[in-house]
Structure 1
Amino acid sequence: APTWRDDQFYKKGQYKFDLDLDLHELRAAIGDEYIIILRMHYLVAENFDLGPYEGFAYDFSHYEDIRDLYMISDLLITDYSSVFFDYANLKRPMLFYVPDIETYRDKLRGFYFDFEQEAPGPLVKETASVIDWVRETEQPSFTLPEAFSPFYEKFCYLETGESSKRVVEVVFSEK
């Protein structure tokens, strides 16, 4: 679930996106066990030619509710997209594929917090590292990275699964 880039466009207001992740390499390495669901940012939800990856990679960019995709996913691969804040509530593995982090950080948008120190998963720049990390998550000894707990406590602490109950208690409590 990558986000769009301010510097990749056809013309003003019409953005494009280069998927740097090598789907051929991914399919060769993990295609017998995994499928990839692409959910592109709406500004770059182009029709990718996924014909060569039939049965492995699917474009769900126009699927209405990304939360359904979170629920069926074993792990999230994203870049700087804010989807990781929502996905973190599931307490599932996340990987940040950031081959252009220097450009994104220094020239495009930057970050609202210390992303490189506080991201709730590893930051990688190559498809081979993505494959290695996916394999790591399969190990019985796998645990979420050390950075996950502080991230969760800082950004997800209100998500207890009892929001409706809290609203009812506040609205209908006797005063």
Structure 2
Amino acid sequence: MLKNKETLIQIDKIDRRILEQIQKDASLTNQQLAEKVGLSPSPCLRRVRALEEAGIIVRTVTVLDHKKLGLSLTAIILIGMDRHTPERFAAFEEQVSEFPEILECYLVTGHDADYMLKVVVPDMDHYHHFLLNRITRIPGVSGVHSSFVLKRVLDSTALPLGYLS
């Protein structure tokens, strides 16, 4: 059972199999998905639509290869803010949401930072420009610590569904 913002949602074994399959390959046709989960196409489609309507399936995306597109530098940036006010955080979040280089942004705890960003750019020159001309110019940013990804050991978008009963 999953708790949605509005209601409690029942997830059974078939729903879980549907979610596992479409996380692996969202390009499956309904017919292919139905075969993989052991349903006929109509009930499979009804279940997928119900999962979408319930907000479990948020969107369907295509995962691209960064390096083949010339985006070979991935940076993890820890950001410290000068004040911890809702207004300061809201302004920061609004501004970083406009930067296409930022793939992920998290408000974090347990570090000497308030935010953690995942950034993808072509190279160090682009990163340097992005850091100095965008990130450090956001009002309230008081500290920046950058780390660079040397190797992607695990890179998944699939959620672990084994915990669902």
Q: Normalising by structure 1, report the TM-score.
A: 0.20
The structure with the largest strand share of the pair is: 2
Q: Which has the higher contact order (CA 8 A, sep 6+)?
A: 2
Give the greater-gyration-radius structure (CA): 2
Q: Normalising by structure 2, report the TM-score.
A: 0.21
